[in-house]
Amino acid sequence: MRCARWLVPVVGGAVWIGSWYLMYLEITRWHHVKPSLAVNTPHPGQPLILLYIACISAPLAVLVSVVRSLGSAAR
């Protein structure tokens, strides 16, 4: 259980940073995504869909784990 306290925020933070860096590359270099984060291709592939999921779920996982650790520290 102690391992999960630091593992989830660290892995989630790495996924968070990596996913937004890939989103930056999708917008500026590969032009698969518009700057408004709308998909620029008619049929997005599975990697692009997974990138959108990672961009949303990684920050949520980090925030939930931080809030839970702060809540348990207050007890």
Q: What is the pLDDT of residues 53-63, one digit of tens each?
A: 999 999 999 99
Q: How does pLDDT run across 5-37, given as a tens digit for each residue?
A: 788 889 999 999 999 999 999 999 999 999 999
**Within-domain flag for 39:** yes
* pTM reported for the whole predicted model: 0.88
Residue 1: predicted pLDDT: 64
Residue ranges making up the domain that contains 38: 12-44
71 token code pair: 């809540």
Give, as one character, the DSSP assignment of residue 33: B
Residue 3: predicted pLDDT: 78
**Within-domain flag for 69:** no
Yes or no: say if 43 and 8 are a contact pair by the CB < 8 Å rule. Answer: no
Q: How many domains does the chain have?
A: 1
**Within-domain flag for 5:** no
H helices of the chain, in order, are: 2-25, 46-74
**Within-domain flag for 67:** no
**Within-domain flag for 74:** no
Q: Give the number of other Cβ atoms within 10 Å of residue 67's Cβ.
A: 10
Yes or no: say if 55 and 26 are a contact pair by the CB < 8 Å rule. Answer: no
Q: What residues form DSSP beta bridges with 39?
A: 33
